Structure 1
Amino acid sequence: MSSKEYVQKYLWRDHGQPLQTAWQITLTDNEAIAFLALTTTLLAYTQTRAWVLARLAVIKLTRPIRLSDEDEPGSLNKLTQKDAMVEMFVSAAPRVFGRYAPRHNQMSSVSLWFGVVAMINIVIFFALSAVIPWALTGGLETPIVQSKTWDGCHPVNGSSYSDRGGTTADRAANIYRRCWFNTTGILDSCGRQNGIIFDRPTMHISQDIACPFVGAACHPNVRPIRLEHVNITLRDFGLNLKSSLLFSSRLTCTPLNLDHFITDGSGNTTWLQVSDQKLLQYPPAHEFPNFRKRLSYPDGRGPRPNDTVKFFWPERTPGLLVWLTQYGDFDLEGGQSHGEVLVLVYDAGLSRYSQSIDDPIYSAHVREFDVVYWPDYEYTMMGCLEQHRICVSGSPSICTRYGTISDAMFEIMYQKPRLPADQETIYDELRAIHEYGDLGSVHHFLTIRGASAMRPTIDNSVLGPFEFINSRQQWIRNVKAWFETSLLDYRLYLLANLAEDGRFGGLKKGRVRENLCGHVLFLDGDFTNINFLGLIITLVFIVIITGCSHAERLTKATTHTKEFFYKVFETLSAKTKAISREIKTAIRDAFLYRVLRTLSAITFNNARSTPELGPGQTLTHESELERSRG
């Protein structure tokens, strides 16, 4: 399946990164080229606007008092960068070249500072045009992209891991040898080659601890080793979820005293109490290996029909072999009663070395032919205790005890009332952590990889039948390799599911599986990430420079706009006043007309109702009353 089908494009957030790099815009390479070309074009335009500001600053400094000459053809406000630099070179030539310089007859009114500032402006923006695209895209690093939920992503049960588990486990072991072996750093090229995120959590190492197993089980005079990943997040697994939980895992290993686990069988046979059935399924009863036989081949191995490499042990590989047993009833010291116990039994077989080895597991001091060292013991044994813990970020008091992943899940769910409000996200994280506990554990990695995982980590290449390994504490180097390789294996498992068929297993609820489909982090060179915050800062820078360069023009435009609107307002105000006066005059005239008309009517009616009297006649009061009644 093409990666373009399951990559989340455009804006997304990487929850494991700080704010300045968390938000990313994922584009295909072609889209990114077009986008960066546009950004560079905007920067080129911004450079011309920055010259306007720089030119104005030089004018203010060199000629603080001057008449306005903006409309003049030779105004300094119209000076270009090219002209400024030409004037600078022409003016500076006599000082540099003396009498051999060409003569400049006319006295220039352009200060040398204009040319200097123009050159500085060009150099700065030329550098920005290279630095900004480089910074926005992260340089030559292969970008970390996120998967998306697509139609082909569907859940299956956890058994799907076994279909490709061996492949990813082998790849993880090879990656560890090439990239993480004998170093605490990270080789960027390894991440680009393998596609997985290559962040390496800090591994805490301690040997100042007691043996986790009781009695005489532990090898005398050997100090156990404890490896820990403390408070890692889901991003360290390769998942991009907003994480409120912190996950810790630790592996405590120590060589065991083999004699403590040997019991006598019938006849002359011996039995190993914690052995895997693979030790016993092939040879006849009288040919069981004698575990008390201390010398290895060729001096004293238990009787076998022949010494062919794959006769009894089909999984045999060159070097020391191992059988893995998860032994649930192993006796542990108090306070460490929780965890998964791994018991590993090594068979020296035909191993031989070019130098003597002082190591409780790989001890070899039997010299032959002056060039070969045989292992001292036919069988050796190692015990490991794998434990997990879950804590809530920001709440140190909410933390489980170290134990199995199931124990930690139960304890954190028991504290449900104290969990943060966003419990749905907490449940998603718990399910993802539970899957990691099943598929990303050291026990699972060793089970999937088989006996080949137990071969010593080789310092140099194998030359013929000889293996060149570290002569001291080789078993510690192996334990470190298992602990870190199991994490690489889980990351490869997630990526393999995306690239092949989108199947995810180990979780119970379909919705969560979809979330995992859409939150896997990996590297893909066919895409480019643009830093979103950096892009915003770049655009703000462009807008500020461009806006300030147009400030004077905007001021003039604003002034003209104000004058225009003022004139419009005055005109409208005058017309409004004239109309108001006309309306008032009309109302007044109409009112006076009605008043005069009313008075005229009253006068006319009074004139008609008054009787005519002769000379010397007057109206009496009684006659007036009678007339009024009549």
Structure 2
Amino acid sequence: MIAKPGGGASPDFLPYLRQPRPSFAKRDRARGPIVLESRQENVSAETRQTQATTISFHYSYIFIHVRLVLGSMDQALPPVYQYIWRDYSLPGYKGLVLTLSTMWGIVAFAFFASLLAIAQTRFWIILRYLSLHFIWPIHIEVESEQELSQLDALRALFGRHKDRNAVNSQSISNVPKTLGIVAAINVAGFFICGILAPLCLQGDLSTTVVLSKSTDTCIGWENRPGSNHYTTQLADSFFKKCLLNTSDTFSSCSTESGIVGSTPQFHTDRKAACPFPGDVCQDGVQPVRLEYMGLSPRDFGVNLRHQVLISQRVVCAPLKMDQFLLLFPSPDDSTKLREDKSFIWFGRKYHDPTFNSTDLGIWGTMLRTLNGPNRYSKEYSGNYLASFQKQQPVYDLDVYPFGLQDDQKETIHPGLQRDDGVVFIVMLRAGRSLYNMSAPIEDPFYAAHNTYPDTNLLIPDYEATALGCVEQYKLCWNNKTSPCTNWGRFQVAVVEMMAVARAAGDIDMLYDLGFVYGALTTMGSVHRYLLQRVGTQVLISSLFRDNFVVSLLDYKEQWILEVQAWFTTAFLNARYALLQIVRQVGSKRTGDEAEQILKICHSVLFQNNDYININFISLLACIVVLLLVCAFSWEPLPKACRKAWEVSIYGIGELTRRVQVVYRVCKFHEFLPVLAAFLPQSRFFRLRSQARFPWSAFWHGDRRRQDDQGLFSGPDSIALQNL
């Protein structure tokens, strides 16, 4: 018989349960952050204070743990590529970036500031010349004009001008105040430029985005067994520190993480149908579909010329557990079932009589109850687990199939089979858990309706609950409306896009798809993340589990919050995995690796405040303009330019006159045969023409070329001689 809760509790247990617990928490979807609020009415101020203290303790523990994990990130950042590189996510002239260390950046800006100061004084010479000779022409001696500084002009503006040279006092006293205004504008303009130019050249004051530098230890992929677990731990810690809680305590997330940009927003849809062909989804519970649409390489922190967009989709639904339950006959009576043991199996074997393969896969585990209430038992299996007279049950989160499989259709349950995606099952074994909730929990993953005796804590309904999920990918060429692959496994999507690149003759794209995009889709997989970050540590509810008492964030849809957390954390895992690849140290690579495999080593973007980024094209344009200002303020240069201008104008005029003369001569040559054709019998015309142009080739067919000077007499010959 299934044990009932109540009797057999340890003496220390009930006093512990009667202590105030963390208040219920729910997500305020309008504002985003998690808002903690109490669902108990008539709670004393002392109780509320105790609850708040307990919640603060939970978050303080999370903060300390995450600081230990992420605290040394800045010291372990990958090597940085310095000098000029192209950021393919930026348009036009902004794409060329100059990366310098902080020291060299200070030197560069000091040089720029010095050049700006020199250009300001030289620009005053230009303004002074234009003002005194063209805008407000007044008579000042040349020596006085050259000695008229900006300070003199400013003093004249405010009526405090004092001549340093008494000889020139009569002429300098005639300086108009408008010239002082010009001097003031010049000083103010260059002062503002000195402030704004560094900001414009550097882009903004945010953390510097730098490019990884290829080293002789980076092999372009991850081959260290412990690194995968480390990156999932980083991603999980970052999510719980920075995205799950948005309090001011965790304001340093951006600088500590090292990853570039913010986490992209995903789209949530509750109108999706059951993602599986069989009748395996729970009735009355709508599945959830999460999608990242059109992620560029920059969203993953990779700098690539080819901008193939990646879309990722995960559809999850609560499963009917009794569809996958296998029962054992009682050893005493074969007509009855064993109530202390059952077998949950999501694979094909044991459910399909035609299955004869030796490759079973790992699709399930043993249970200690019949997992009721269901069609096999009316008893609540959670009551059995809550009994303290029984052995401590397992509290765990299992992911099936265990391990990555290339072909699932041979081993998966027929009701779960999908050819266009990766199917995985997430099963929660509640163990000895009690939920600190004031109302029954309607969530299918955490269902709880029975109260533990003498407490307001709820007992889980089932020993095990499960979510069935399908993960799919789609790739698009450059934009969302261009050729796209169908939704499917990431391997299939990459192969289909490689066919498009092969048809376009883009060999570089083929290599990027094979070695870079394949890595992005693999490392961002939710299934892969859950396999690497094993156990209940991936659950948000585990954060608020104190011994065996759990506080949920949402009593109806906690399972959706969990799926959203996995979806986001899997993407973060891809970002951290890329940093781990380019951060790799140790033995040097063999040198036999293909260049295409190593491309990711010098393509990862990350944040590093020890470096400065400068817009190279803008910097070059500013330096050229300042040098031109200095050059044109040099007195011999304007004179030389003026002389060159006059010479060029005269040369253009002479060339134009010569072209006109030749054009007139050519037109006359064309006119002679026209007259000869229309007046062939006119003896007068022929005699006059031959008399005037006796050597013309038009009258002598055997002569094809004649000198124009011999053909023409009179004004035409004189014009040709002058050419």
TM range (shorter): 0.7 to 0.9
Verify: 1:486 aligned to 2:575, yes or no.
Answer: no
The residue type paired with residue 152 of structure 2 is D
The residue type paired with residue 195 of structure 2 is A
User: Which residue of structure 2 lines up, in the alignment, with residue 196 of structure 1?
Assistant: 259
Does structure 1 conserve the Cα–Cα contact (< 8 Å) formed by 2:260 and 2:605? yes
User: Which residue of structure 2 lines up, in the alignment, with residue 145 of structure 1?
Assistant: 210
Shift of 1:45: 1.2
TM-score (norm 1): 0.74
SS of the aligned residue for 2:187 comes to: helix
User: Which residue of structure 2 lines up, in the alignment, with residue 529 of structure 1?
Assistant: 613
Alignment of 1:376-415 (within 5 A): 376-393=461-478, 396=481, 398-415=483-500
User: Which residue of structure 2 lines up, in the alignment, with residue 49 of structure 1?
Assistant: 122
Does structure 2 conserve the Cα–Cα contact (< 8 Å) formed by 1:2 and 1:499? no
Shift of 1:305: 8.1
Note closer, same or farther for the CA distance 1:224–1:559 as it changes in structure 2 (3 Å cut): closer
- Which digits, 9 at most, give the CA deviation of each residue in 1:281-337, with x for residues without a partner? 7xxxxx8333225777872339998444xxx64xx46xxx34443664344799x63
Verify: 1:181 aligned to 2:257, yes or no.
Answer: no
Cα RMSD after superposing both structures: 3.8
After alignment, is 129-138 or 395-404 more displaced?
Answer: 395-404
In 2, the alpha carbon distance for the partners of 1:337 and 1:277 equals 19
**Partner residue of 2:83 out of 3, 6, 10:** 10
In 2, the alpha carbon distance for the partners of 1:118 and 1:454 equals 66
Alignment of 1:328-343 (within 5 A): 328=409, 329-331=412-414, 337-343=419-425
User: Which residue of structure 2 lines up, in the alignment, with residue 234 of structure 1?
Assistant: 297
User: Which residue of structure 2 lines up, in the alignment, with residue 128 of structure 1?
Assistant: 193
- Which digits, 9 at most, give the CA deviation of each residue in 1:115-161, with x for residues without a partner? 223222222212221221123223432211112222222366x542x
Does structure 2 conserve the Cα–Cα contact (< 8 Å) formed by 1:254 and 1:383? yes
In 2, the alpha carbon distance for the partners of 1:115 and 1:463 equals 79
In 2, the alpha carbon distance for the partners of 1:12 and 1:238 equals 15
In 2, the alpha carbon distance for the partners of 1:298 and 1:208 equals 31
User: Which residue of structure 2 lines up, in the alignment, with residue 246 of structure 1?
Assistant: 309
**Partner residue of 1:475 out of 545, 559, 562:** 559
The residue type paired with residue 289 of structure 1 is T
User: Which residue of structure 1 lines up, in the alignment, with residue 21 of structure 2?
Assistant: none
In 1, the alpha carbon distance for the partners of 2:587 and 2:319 equals 40
User: Which residue of structure 1 lines up, in the alignment, with residue 285 of structure 2?
Assistant: 222
In 1, the alpha carbon distance for the partners of 2:489 and 2:259 equals 27
In 2, the alpha carbon distance for the partners of 1:107 and 1:136 equals 41
In 1, the alpha carbon distance for the partners of 2:76 and 2:328 equals 59
Shift of 1:196: 1.8
Note closer, same or farther for the CA distance 1:354–1:191 as it changes in structure 2 (3 Å cut): same
Shift of 1:373: 2.9
Shift of 1:441: 0.7
Note closer, same or farther for the CA distance 1:159–1:487 as it changes in structure 2 (3 Å cut): same
Shift of 1:539: 1.9
- Which digits, 9 at most, give the CA deviation of each residue in 1:542-562, with x for residues without a partner? 234334444x64233557899
Alignment of 1:356-395 (within 5 A): 356=439, 357-368=441-452, 369-393=454-478
In 2, the alpha carbon distance for the partners of 1:278 and 1:416 equals 38
Note closer, same or farther for the CA distance 1:214–1:152 as it changes in structure 2 (3 Å cut): closer
Shift of 1:386: 0.3
Aligned residues: 526
**Partner residue of 1:273 out of 296, 320, 345:** 345
Shift of 1:172: 0.4
**Partner residue of 2:270 out of 194, 207, 215:** 207
Verify: 1:291 aligned to 2:371, yes or no.
Answer: yes
In 2, the alpha carbon distance for the partners of 1:373 and 1:70 equals 100
User: Which residue of structure 1 lines up, in the alignment, with residue 154 of structure 2?
Assistant: 85
Note closer, same or farther for the CA distance 1:502–1:118 as it changes in structure 2 (3 Å cut): farther
Shift of 1:17: 2.4
In 1, the alpha carbon distance for the partners of 2:501 and 2:510 equals 10
In 2, the alpha carbon distance for the partners of 1:455 and 1:395 equals 34
User: Which residue of structure 1 lines up, in the alignment, with residue 12 of structure 2?
Assistant: none
In 2, the alpha carbon distance for the partners of 1:525 and 1:272 equals 52
Does structure 2 conserve the Cα–Cα contact (< 8 Å) formed by 1:270 and 1:292? no
In 1, the alpha carbon distance for the partners of 2:277 and 2:538 equals 25
Does structure 2 conserve the Cα–Cα contact (< 8 Å) formed by 1:271 and 1:291? no
**Partner residue of 1:258 out of 321, 324, 336:** 321
SS of the aligned residue for 1:90 comes to: coil
SS of the aligned residue for 1:450 comes to: coil
In 2, the alpha carbon distance for the partners of 1:115 and 1:461 equals 74
**Partner residue of 1:74 out of 141, 144, 147:** 144
- Which digits, 9 at most, give the CA deviation of each residue in 1:10-34, with x for residues without a partner? 0011222223432111111111110
- Which digits, 9 at most, give the CA deviation of each residue in 1:243-291, with x for residues without a partner? 242222111111112222223222213221228969747xxxxx83332
Note closer, same or farther for the CA distance 1:62–1:152 as it changes in structure 2 (3 Å cut): same
- Which digits, 9 at most, give the CA deviation of each residue in 1:577-598, with x for residues without a partner? xxxxxxxxxxxxxxxxxxxxxx
After alignment, is 3-12 or 207-216 more displaced?
Answer: 3-12
Note closer, same or farther for the CA distance 1:139–1:9 as it changes in structure 2 (3 Å cut): same
The residue type paired with residue 244 of structure 2 is F
TM-score (norm 2): 0.65
In 2, the alpha carbon distance for the partners of 1:352 and 1:18 equals 55
After alignment, is 341-350 or 372-381 more displaced?
Answer: 372-381
Does structure 1 conserve the Cα–Cα contact (< 8 Å) formed by 2:501 and 2:510? no
- Which digits, 9 at most, give the CA deviation of each residue in 1:521-554, with x for residues without a partner? 111222111111221232233234334444x642
Note closer, same or farther for the CA distance 1:279–1:44 as it changes in structure 2 (3 Å cut): same
- Which digits, 9 at most, give the CA deviation of each residue in 1:591-624, with x for residues without a partner? xxxxxxxxxxxxxxxxxxxxxxxxxxxxxxxxxx
The residue type paired with residue 399 of structure 1 is C
SS of the aligned residue for 2:199 comes to: helix
Note closer, same or farther for the CA distance 1:5–1:500 as it changes in structure 2 (3 Å cut): closer
Gaps of 5+ in 1: 93-103, 282-286, 564-630
The residue type paired with residue 155 of structure 2 is V
In 2, the alpha carbon distance for the partners of 1:32 and 1:57 equals 37
Shift of 1:458: 7.5
The residue type paired with residue 496 of structure 2 is E
In 1, the alpha carbon distance for the partners of 2:569 and 2:130 equals 61
In 2, the alpha carbon distance for the partners of 1:23 and 1:462 equals 53
**Partner residue of 1:498 out of 564, 574, 582:** 582
Note closer, same or farther for the CA distance 1:258–1:333 as it changes in structure 2 (3 Å cut): closer
The residue type paired with residue 74 of structure 1 is S
Identity across the alignment (%):
28
SS of the aligned residue for 2:435 comes to: coil
Note closer, same or farther for the CA distance 1:226–1:262 as it changes in structure 2 (3 Å cut): same
In 2, the alpha carbon distance for the partners of 1:45 and 1:3 equals 42
Does structure 2 conserve the Cα–Cα contact (< 8 Å) formed by 1:43 and 1:129? yes
